[in-house]
Amino acid sequence: MQMMASASVSWGTQFITGIDTTDRNGNTISEAPINKSFKVRYDWTIPNSIDVKEGNTMNITLPEGLQTTQNDVMEFKAASGAVVARGQATSPGGKVYNVTFTDYPETHSNVRGYIEFFIQFDSSVQPNQKIEFEALPGKKPVTITAIKENEGEGPPGEPGPVEITVDSSYKMPSYQGNGIIEWYVFIIPPKLKSLPTDPGYYEPVYNVTLEDSYGVGQTLISDSVKVRQAYGVRGGFFIENGLPDLKVTRQDPAARTFGLDLGDLDDGYGREITYRTKVTDADQEAFYNEATIKGNGFERKIENTVRIEGGTGGAEGEQAAFTAIKQDTAGKPLEGASFDLYRIPASGGEIEIATGLTSDKDGVISYDKLRFGTYELREKSAPEGYKLLDAPYRFALDSSGMNTLAIPIINELEEIPVGSVELSKYDEADKSKGLAGAKFDLYKGTPSAGNTPISSHTTPANGIVAVNNLEFGDYYFVETEAPNGYELDATPRPFTIGEDQVTVPVKLGVANKAIEIPVGSVELIKYDEADKSKVLAGASFDLFRGTPGSGTLVDSHVTPASGTFHVNNLEFGDYYFVETKAPAGYELDATPRPFTIGEDQVTVPFKLGVSNKAIVDPTIQTIAFETGTNSKILFPGEAAAISDRVSYSDLISGKEYRLNATLLTKDGALQLTTGQKQFTAANATGQEVVDLAAFDATALRGQQVVVFEQLIDVASGLIVATHEDLNDADQTVAFADPRGGVEFTKVDADTQNPLAG
C-alpha cells in the first residue's frame, strides 16, 4: 500500500488533549482480549496561537505492546464536508499513526477534532499484562489490560490430537486492506466414509451448489474465486490440495448475488471456497455475507459479518470575516482604494493573507475565511484625489462570523491647486447689455465628439457666470440654449486653467446676435353702422394674441378722433380685438374680431373695420285703468286699485329695466300711491302692466287722477324714458260721485280709447 508523504513540519503529540480506549461500539474499556482488536481515541485541539500549515503533521506513537491493525487512509471532515486532515498508520502492525493537515487550519480558528483507529496487542504481550499510554498534562494515564480469550470462539484453529469432524459449515471474513475483504466458506460432508479403502475421509455428496448473497457497501471481484480440498478437525479445519478455478454463474450485481456449481464431492473431502469483495462505501464499517449450500439430501445456510478496523475521526473549526468602510473626512464612501491583508501572529512576524482588496462603490472592503487574531490592512493605492495612508490599519478578530469594524478607514483629500473662469454673455450690438437665460455645458479637455460635460450653467440677469475650483488643465464651454430672442452660437469656447488663474479668473466673453423677427401691422377703423363715413372716437379695444377664448392679452387701444389706430411690430400669427367700451351714444359690440399677421402684412397693414350701432332713446306710452276691470271710471272706495299698461319701443333686447308708476291728483299737487315693475326686455318693443298699491279714494268722489311713468336702466340707474302729462286722457282715470249722476264712457278693452255710440 502507498503511504502518505510525510510533512515537512511535525507537531508531535502536543495537540493531543485526551486519550481513551473503547470497544467496537465506543464504550470505554480498561481490558481487552489478547487476540482481539479494539479502538483507541485521541482528542486534539490546535491552539489559536499556533500556525499550522497545509502538510504539517501530528504524529502518534503507540506504547510498547500495542500495534495498528490496518493502514488505510482516513479523511477527517468538518460538518461542512471540508477535509481537515487525513490519517494513516505507517503499516499494519506498526506503532506510528500520522495525521496530515490540509489548509483548513490556515483559515480557521478553534480547530479541534478526534481520531479513532483499531489497535491490538502484539505477540509480546502476555495475559493480564497492563499497557500504559503516555500521560497527558494534568490527567491520569490511560491503561489497557490484556485478558485471555475464551477457547472455542471460532475457526480456524490448530487441532490437538487429530479428530476428524463431520457436517460442519463455516464462513469467515478477513479484511485485506485497501478496501478488499476475503471471504472463506468451508463445506464438510455429513458422513465419514464407510470403507477404509475409499479415498479421503467422507462419503460423497452429489450436485453441490453454493448461492451467495453479499451485503450492501461491497461488490464481487468475480475472478477471485478459489477452491481447495478441506476436512474438519476438532477446533478447526485443515486445507489440502487446490482444485481448478471455478467460474461464477448466476451473477446479479444489482441484487448482489452469485452462484457456483461445485459438482460432486466424491473425492472424500469437503471444500474451502474463497473469493473477494471490494468495499464501495468508505464510511461503512460492518459488511455482511450469507451463503446457502445445497446437495442431494444436504442443505446448509451460513452467514457472517466483518468489521473493517480502519477507524474514524472528525474535526471542526471556526472562521471569522470582516467588513471595513473606506471614507473621507466628511463621511463620504470612497471607491477604488486597494489594500493588502496581513495576519500578525502573537509570536511575531507577519503572514500575507490576500492582496488587491479594493473598496466598492459603497466604500466597503471585506474578506472571509480568516482565523482569529490580529490583522493589518496596508493601503497600496488611494482613491483618486486622496492621500495614501502612511500607517497600516490594524484590527483584531476574536469571534466567528462577520465582524463589522466600527472605526472607518479615512483618507484625506489631496491639496489640488484650482482656478476659476468668468463667462460674460452680452448682445453682439451692445456689449454693455448682459444677456440672461443663456445655457452652457462645461467640458474638461479639448473639443471633441463624445465628451461628457462636467457641469451646466445658466447666465443670470447680469449675464455673467463664474465657475470656481477647476483643476489645472484645458476646458471649453458650449452654448446649448441661446437667450430669448437671440441666435444660438454653439462654437466651443476653449480656455486653460493654470497658475495664473488661481487668484484671477479667466475672462471669457461670448456675444449673441439678436434674431430679426419679421413683423407686420394692423389698422382698425371704427365707424357708425348706418354711415361708414362717420368715424367714431372713444372706442376701447383689448388686443389678444391667439384664438378667441384662449388668447393672451398684448395691449389696449382707444380710437382717436379719426376713428383709426395702428398697431405695429406684431410677430406673425393669429390675433383678435375685443371691444371693451363703446363710443358715447353707441351700443357695445364685444364680438371678437380675429385677424392674422403674415408676410402680406410686413409692408401693408391688415385693415379691420368695426362698426357700432347708434343708441336710440326708448319711448313709452301708458293707459291707466281700474285693476281687474279695465274701467276708466272707479268707485271711490277705501281700497281703490289702479293699473297702468305701458307700451315701450327702442329698448335693448336682453337689458334689464324698471318701471316706476306714481298716481297724482289732477292738479299734480298730491301723490296718492306708487307701483314698480322690473323686467328684462325680450324685444325692442313690447308691453308691461304696473299695478299700483291700493289706496283710500273716499275723498276723491267726482275727481280725476293721473298716473306718471318713468323707465329706468337698472344697470346704470338712469331714467331713459318718461310719460308724465297731467292732461293725457290715457293716463287719467275718474272716480264717480254716487250722490249725483254718473257718466259712463264706452272704451276699447285693449287700448282704453273712447268708443262712439
Q: Using one digit for the tens of pLDDT, what is the confidence trace for 614-653?
A: 888 899 999 999 999 999 999 999 999 999 999 999 898 8
Q: Dump pLDDT digits (tens) for 734-745.
A: 999 877 554 555
Amino acid residing at 16? I
Give the whole-angstrom CA distance, residue 371 versus residue 48. 8
Q: Where residue 7 falls among pLDDT bands split at 50, 70, 90?
A: very low
pTM of the model: 0.43
The pLDDT confidence band at residue 505, using thresholds 50, 70 and 90, is: confident
pLDDT at 674: 96
d(CA 240, CA 227): 10
- Work out whether strand 633-634 and strand 418-427 pair parallel, antiparallel, or are unpaired: unpaired
Predicted pLDDT of residue 293: 92
How many angstroms separate the CA atoms of 699 and 636, rounded? 7
Question: Which pLDDT belongs to residue 600?
Answer: 86
Measure the N-to-C terminal CA separation of the chain; round to a whole number of Å: 164
Measured CA to CA, the distance from residue 343 to residue 115 in angstroms comes to: 30
Whether pLDDT at 309 is above 70 = no
Dihedral sign for Cα atoms in the order 386, 388, 390, 392: positive
For position 150, what pLDDT does the model report? Answer: 44
pLDDT score of 151: 36
CA 740 to chain centre: 112
Q: CA-based Rg of the chain, rounded to a whole angstrom?
A: 65
Residue 154: pLDDT band with limits 50, 70, 90: very low
Question: Which three three-digit cell numbers place residue 349?
Answer: 512576524
Q: Where are the beta strands (DSSP E) in 148-265?
A: 164-165, 169-177, 180-187, 205-214, 218-233, 236-243, 249-252, 257-265
- pLDDT value at position 745? 52
Q: What is the pLDDT of residue 751?
A: 56
pLDDT at 177: 66
pLDDT of residue 631: 94
Q: Residue 432: how many CB atoms within 10 A of its CB?
A: 6
The CB-based long-range contact list for 552-558 (8 Å cut-off, 24+ gap) reads: 556/580, 557/524
* pLDDT tens digit sequence for 97-122: 999 999 999 899 999 988 888 889 99
pLDDT band at 746 (very low <50, low <70, confident <90, very high): low
**Residue 148 has what pLDDT?**
84
Does the pLDDT at position 220 exceed 70?
yes
Assess whether pLDDT exceeds 80 at residue 152: no
The yes-or-no verdict on residue 306 having pLDDT over 70 is: no
Task: Please give the grid coordinates belonging to residue 434.
Answer: 448682459
Strands (DSSP E) contained in 603-737 are 606-612, 619-626, 633-634, 642-649, 656-665, 671-680, 686-691, 704-713, 718-723, 732-735
Return the biggest CA–CA distance within the chain: 198
Residue type at position 726: L
CA separation for the pair 176, 225 (Å, rounded): 15
Q: Which pLDDT score, from 0 to 100, does residue 652 have?
A: 87
Strand partners, 173: 183
pLDDT for 243 beyond 50: yes
pLDDT at 425: 92
**Do 63 and 133 meet the contact criterion of CB atoms below 8 Å apart?**
yes
- Looking at residue 486, the DSSP 8-state letter turns out to be B
Angle at 49 between CA 342 and CA 58, to 5 degrees: 110
What is the distance between the alpha carbons of residues 616 and 56, in angstroms, rounded to a whole number?
A: 126
Nearest CA to 38 among 61, 22, 62, 19? 22
Alpha carbons 394 and 341: distance in angstroms, whole number:
10
Q: Which of 617, 618, 622, 637 is nearest to 699 (CA)?
A: 637
Q: Which residues pair with residue 608 across a beta bridge?
A: 524
Question: Above 60 in pLDDT, residue 507?
Answer: yes
Rounded distance between C-alpha atoms, residue 108 and residue 96, angstroms: 27
Identify the weakest region by mean pLDDT among 176-190, 492-506, 671-685: 176-190
Domains and CATH numbers, the chain: 16-147 (2.60.40.1280), 164-308 (2.60.40.740), 318-411 (2.60.40.10), 418-512 (2.60.40.10), 519-612 (2.60.40.10), 619-735 (2.60.40.3930)
Output b/e per residue, 277-305; b: 16+ Cβ within 10 A. Answer: bebeeeeeeebebbbbbbbeebebebebe
Burial of 564 (0-12, 13-18, 19+ CB in 10 A): middle
Distance (Å, rounded) from C-alpha 687 to C-alpha 623?
11
Q: Averaged over 36-56, what is the pLDDT?
A: 90
pLDDT number for residue 478: 94
Q: What is the pLDDT of residue 723?
A: 94
Q: Looking at residue 691, what is its pLDDT?
A: 96
Closest residue by Cα to residue 515 from 492, 542, 482: 482
| Grid cell for residue 72 | 488505510
> Is the four-CA dihedral 399, 402, 404, 405 of positive or negative sign?
positive
How far from 317 is each of 47, 108, 371, 502, 599, CA to CA, in Å?
11, 6, 9, 61, 92
β-bridge mates for residue 524, sequence order: 565, 608
What local confidence, expressed as pLDDT, does residue 450 receive? Answer: 82
What is the four-CA torsion angle of 745, 750, 751, 755, rounded to 10 degrees? -40
Task: Report pLDDT digits (tens) over 643-701.
Answer: 999 999 989 889 999 999 999 999 988 999 999 999 999 999 999 999 999 999 999 99
pLDDT value at position 4?
Answer: 38
Of the candidate ranges 99-113, 218-232, 336-350, 740-754, the one whose mean pLDDT is the lowest = 740-754
Q: Would you say residue 401 has pLDDT above 50?
A: yes
The residues, any chain, with a CB within 8 Å of residue 4's CB and separated by 6 or more, are 73, 86, 88, 98, 100
| Least confident piece of the model among 23-32, 306-315, 317-326, 579-588 | 306-315
Q: Which of 622, 596, 577 is nearest to 752 (CA)?
A: 622
Mean pLDDT of the chain: 88
685-727: pLDDT as tens digits: 999 999 999 999 999 999 999 999 999 999 989 999 999 999 9
| Rounded CA separation 46/12 (Å) | 12
526 Cβ partners below 8 Å, 6+ apart? 535, 536, 537, 539, 559, 563, 564, 583, 610, 611, 612
Residue whose entry in the numeric block shows the C-alpha cell 286722457: 729
Asked whether the beta carbons of 383 and 337 are under 8 A apart, the reply is yes
pLDDT reported for residue 157: 37
CA-nearest of 627, 623, 634, 621 to 745 is 634
Q: Which of 47, 26, 52 has the alpha carbon at shortest distance from 38?
A: 26
**pLDDT given for residue 753 in this prediction:** 59
Q: Reduced to 3 states, what is the DSSP secondary structure of residue 40?
A: strand
pLDDT average, residue stretch 215-227:
90
